[in-house]
Structure 1
Amino acid sequence: MLKPSDGERGMSKAVFLDRDGVIIRDTGYLGDPRGVLVLPGVPEALTLLRAAGWKLVVVTNQSGIARGFFSEEDHLKVRMRMEELLAAHGVGLDGYFHCPHGPWEQCSCRKPRPGMVFRARDELGIQLEGSFVVGDKMSDLELAWNVGIQGILVGTSVPEALDAGARGAMMRAQDLLHASKLILGG
């Protein structure tokens, strides 16, 4: 089993998780906490990763804020509902970072740009080498490539074969539980 070790500066490895389509059902521009549904296997996956010493960090694009579909306050309510549902299963997150910008704004935090991961690294003491990004879109895989770490694409909409070429390795998983077992070497 791969277990993160504290580096020379006491840093831990992390699993950077997309929110919609990985942890909760992706309904498209979710701004209502009543729509939060934790996907099957997620609590077990997060529990396994946590027990093995991994930091759990959400990095999510939320352009619905910039598009005016919902407010920052609505987004916070959705986040709080997701965290409440996870806590009911005894699991919590180490960090949660979101990008409220639209793709037209060219900000440094919107995936696949590395801003959220670098901020999490600095604020949470994360060692990027050996960490993972788990997401359901190509922007998640591109984020992993952009920060030089392993990416895992989850879901049935992921193409069977992707040519990662020189950009880096890529793994596929059915869902977060399957991805957690890949991370843990099982």
Structure 2
Amino acid sequence: MKLIILDRDGVINEDSDAFVKSVDEWIPLPGSIDAIARLSQAGWTVAVATNQSGLARGYFSEQTLQAMHQRLHDLVTQQGGRIDLIRHCPHGPDDGCDCRKPLSGLFQQIAAHYAVALDGVPTVGDSLRDLQAGAAMGCQPYLVRTGKGRMTEGKDLPAGTRVFDDLAAVASYLLES
């Protein structure tokens, strides 16, 4: 299985310091939907691991989050691809869970779902915590410069992190490799 794990906000869709709170605020980044579709069409299994502390903070409901994810599914399907799995952390920063990135609980859930080790599996994020969570499970980290990526680029990244302008560039690199 060729598995890839993507962060959501700042990688697939626009990020917001005020949180993405509705389907109307969920705006795909240019090229991201096509990138997911191209990966899917080439045989990649696409999973998403996303912190969604806006749930714990009361900014949006589980139903609204599911509507945003349905929009993502629909857009990728319209381009001939698919999102195979979405896992989210609904907790706030002080809830003491094991799934909020930079902890690796979401990645553990994905590994368990597919009954695979994540050694070398590409994981794409725009923040240090995205990359740290994947690297802790043996994933190959890819930083994109979208979202918070440009700020993250100057930080102490996990060893071997590859840096690309956006998800479309990561997809092109993986499909040409």
Do they fold alike, i.e. is TM over 0.5?
Answer: yes
User: Of the candidates 37, 41, 46, which is equivalent to residue 47 of structure 1?
Assistant: 37
Counterpart amino acid of 2:34? E
Establish whether residue 183 from structure 1 lines up as the match of residue 174 from structure 2.
yes
Q: Return the alpha-carbon distance in structure 1 between the equivalents of residues 83 and 115 of structure 2.
A: 14
The one-letter amino acid paired with 1:179 is V
Secondary structure of 1:84's match? helix
**TM-score for the superposition, normalised by structure 2:** 0.88
Instruction: Show the counterpart of 1:128.
Output: 118
Distance, in Å, in 1 between the alignment partners of 2:92 and 2:11 is 21
TM-superposed CA distance for 1:122, in Å, is 1.2
Tell me by how many angstroms 1:148 deviates.
1.5
Query: Is 1:172 aligned to 2:163, yes or no?
Result: yes
Partners of 2:134 and 2:166 in 1: CA distance: 17
Deviation at residue 159 of structure 1 after TM alignment:
4.7
1:37-186 map, 5 Å = 37-156=27-146, 157-164=150-157, 167-185=158-176
Q: How many correspondences in the alignment?
A: 173
State the alpha-carbon separation in 2 of the partners of residues 158 and 125 from structure 1. Answer: 34
1:21 and 2:18 correspond:
no
**Unpaired stretches in structure 2, ≥5 consecutive residues:** none
C-alpha separation between the residues in 1 aligned to 2:172 and 2:92?
A: 34
In structure 2, the residue matched to 1:3 is none
Shift of 1:161: 4.7
Length-normalised TM-score, structure 1 = 0.84
Question: Residue by residue, what CA displacement relative to the aligned partner does 1:51-98 show, whole Å, maximum 9, x if unpaired?
Answer: 332210010000001111111111111111222222221221110000
Q: Cα distance 1:119–1:159, how it changes in 2: closer, same or farther (>3 A)?
A: closer
Residues 14-52 of structure 1, C-alpha deviation per residue, up to 9 Å, x if partnerless? Answer: 111011111111134222112222211113311332233
Q: Secondary structure at the match of 1:104?
A: coil
The verdict on how the C-alpha distance between 1:63 and 1:160 changes in structure 2, with shifts beyond 3 A counting, is: closer
Moved more, 149-158 or 104-113: 149-158
In the TM superposition, what whole-angstrom CA distance separates every residue of 1:141-181 from its partner, at most 9, and x where no partner exists? 111221111111112524555444xx521011110011112
Any unmatched runs of 5+ in structure 1? 1-11
Would the aligned equivalents of 1:13 and 1:130 in 2 still touch at CA under 8 Å? no
Any idea what SS the aligned residue of 1:90 has? coil
For the aligned residue pairs, the C-alpha RMSD in angstroms reads 1.8
Separation in structure 2 between the aligned mates of residue 50 and residue 33 of structure 1, nearest angstrom: 23
Change (3 A) 1:87 1:52: closer
Distance across 2 between alignment mates of 1:65 and 1:34? 17
Cα distance 1:65–1:24, how it changes in 2: closer, same or farther (>3 A)?
A: same
Alpha carbons 1:61, 1:98 under 8 Å: kept: yes
Preserved CA contact (<8 Å) 1:13 1:129 = no
